[in-house]
Structure 1
C-alpha cells in the first residue's frame, strides 16, 4: 500500500511541474511579445522621424583640414 502512495505523489508532482512549465512558457511568450512590440514601436518612431539607420550609415563626414607646418616652411624656403 505504501508503494502506491509514492506513485500517486510522483504523479501529482509531475502534473504540478507540467502546469508550472506551461504558465512559465505563457508568461515568457507574453513578455517576449511585449518587448518585441516596444522595440518595434521605438524603431519605427525613430526611423520615421530621423530618416532611419540607412541614411545614418551613409552620412558624409567632412574632415577639418588645417594647413600643415611642413608646407608653410617649405614655401618660405623657396
Structure 2
C-alpha cells in the first residue's frame, strides 16, 4: 500500500508542476505581448524626434579651407 501512495503522490506532484508551468508560460506570453505593444507605441513617438542618439555620435569631418599660403603660391 505504501508503494501505491508514493505513485499517487508523484502523479499529483507532476500534474501540479505541469499546471504551474502552463500558467507561467501564459503569463510570460502576456507580458511579452504587452512589452511589444509598449515598444511599438514608444518607437512611433520617438521616430518623430529623428534618432537623436545616432546623430549625437555622428562623425563630423573637418572642413579643409584653402590656406592663404597655398593661394599666394599659385
Q: Provide the C-alpha distance between the structure 2 equivalents of 1:66 and 1:74, rounded to a whole number of angstroms.
A: 12
Q: Provide the C-alpha distance between the structure 1 equivalents of 2:15 and 2:61, rounded to a whole number of angstroms.
A: 67
Please say if 1:65 is aligned against 2:72.
no
Q: How many residue pairs end up in the alignment?
A: 67
SS for the counterpart of 2:65 is coil
Q: Provide the C-alpha distance between the structure 2 equivalents of 1:67 and 1:9, rounded to a whole number of angstroms.
A: 85
TM-score by length of 2: 0.69
Segments of structure 2 that go 5 or more residues without pairing to the other structure are none
State the match for 2:28 in structure 1: 28
SS for the counterpart of 1:11 is helix
Q: Provide the C-alpha distance between the structure 2 equivalents of 1:3 and 1:38, rounded to a whole number of angstroms.
A: 53
Q: Provide the C-alpha distance between the structure 1 equivalents of 2:4 and 2:41, rounded to a whole number of angstroms.
A: 56
State the match for 1:74 in structure 2: 70
How far did 1:34 drift?
0.8
Moved >4 Å (runs of 4+): 61-64
RMSD (Å), alpha carbons? 2.7
